[in-house]
Amino acid sequence: MATLAGLARIDCSDSGLNAWLEDDRGDRAVHRAVLDAGLQCYPLSDYTIATPRPDAIILGYAGVPADRMKPYVLRLAEAIART
């Protein structure tokens, strides 16, 4: 997760992660950049109704072994850095 240092703070679970975006990056702009990088994510703002939340993206990775995650995390970091 050091790859994402300065870009996002990560909360992990068994099935996915929340990337809490840093430096005022908007989750919708990051969402588009991540999609352009060939990864799927969801902007947290799509799920916020009444209470504003910090910008974040939600990613699922169930079924991907930990030893295969590094290239995906690198692509994620590059996408976030482009926004």
One-letter amino acid at 30 equals V
Number of domains forming the structure of the chain? 1
Q: When comparing pLDDT for 43 and 13, which is higher? A: 43
Residue 46 burial (CB < 10 Å; 0-12/13-18/19+)? Answer: exposed
**Residues paired with residue 21 on neighbouring β-strands, in sequence order:** 8
3 versus 77: which is more confidently predicted? 77
pLDDT digits (tens, 9 = 90+) for 49-78: 888 889 999 988 777 787 888 898 899 999
Determine, yes or no, domain membership for 29.
yes
CATH at 59: 3.90.1150.10
In this structure, which amino acid lies at residue 60? G
Taking residues 7-19, report their average pLDDT.
84
- Amino acid 22: pLDDT: 94
Do the domain assignments include residue 1? no
Query: pLDDT value at position 19?
Result: 92
Mean pLDDT of the chain: 89
